[in-house]
Structure 1
């Protein structure tokens, strides 16, 4: 979702994420998607988790801790080594914070990470549309809301989550990401 967020911002409002450019996207994709997928695959091969689906709430904690660490390192690198603007800093920090919140919640309640991620990106775009009324972000926001609904419906259809888990994930993702940009960017 971080790569998707910055891809949308780069495509529709590149001035908001300067000095980042399209060259930053592959690095972001590697650190927030490829490396976590490899680590989760290693956990699966080693027998630490029984399935890549991580249907068991208890099995999700270790992979989520790893993902939190990867996102934390990515946040550190982009903020302190690349040098990004305030908006990008808030997106990185709040995304990492969202993962920490979801990891803590997962220790007591199974929550939909898919719903939280999709709704988090919706929260960022909603806030940016709100703060920049004439921007070109309205159409990607509408498309993303539809895609988020499709993802959540698919999670229900696959019996991967109960409605309350989807609702909780979407509310936490939307609230965390919207609030972060609203108050701090």
Structure 2
């Protein structure tokens, strides 16, 4: 059980959440989008939101700015969150532009707002759960897409609720966060997506 709970935190790592949201969007969108365009965007996003952050993490660790991938202290979170904000801005400028895919533009804009909120809290010495920010953000995005495209994804949403509970349990088991940090992380991820729905739904 100990290994299972620890593995959940790695399987559902925040780095993969934006890409999962984009994959889900392309799989459910009724709009015709050329396969070549989809593949190009997925490859670009994989490089920018997963591979590049990993490389930057190892650079920061070499420079002594972070100690572990868990970013246990608020001080360790500052540089990764700043760099991640820059990466998300690049995504908004180059990949998920409003003229191409309006839904993904506001999805990543919500991610940017959540990221900056988490960064502000880190400066204030408060550690919100980035895992909960990631999973709650795409959960709200999935709900919005189901309404926007008039599709029934109740099974997916039910599975998402289970995953959210599993992630919260995992983070508590690992003593990575308190209940307050998990709850705050959940709302930091969800609320920006909920507010921005008004601009594209």
TM superposition score normalised by structure 1: 0.89
SS at match of 1:53: coil
Distance 2:140 2:101 in 1: 19
- Return 5+ residue gaps in structure 2 as ranges: 1-16
Alpha-carbon displacement from aligned partner over 1:70-93 (angstroms, at most 9, x marks no partner): 11111111245x952221221122
Confirm or deny that 1:43 pairs with 2:70: no
Confirm or deny that 1:165 pairs with 2:184: no
- From 24, 27, 37, the equivalent of 1:8 is 24
Distance 1:142 1:34 in 2: 30
Deviation above 6 Å: which 4+ runs of structure 1?
none
Q: Give the Å deviation of 1:127.
A: 2.0
Distance 1:87 1:125 in 2: 11
Query: RMSD value over aligned CA atoms?
Result: 2.0
Contact 1:44–1:52, Cα closer than 8 Å, also in 2: no
Contact 1:10–1:22, Cα closer than 8 Å, also in 2: no
Contact 1:9–1:16, Cα closer than 8 Å, also in 2: no
Contact 1:122–1:144, Cα closer than 8 Å, also in 2: yes
TM superposition score normalised by structure 2: 0.82
Q: How many residues are treated as equivalent by the alignment?
A: 181
- From 107, 113, 120, the equivalent of 2:137 is 120
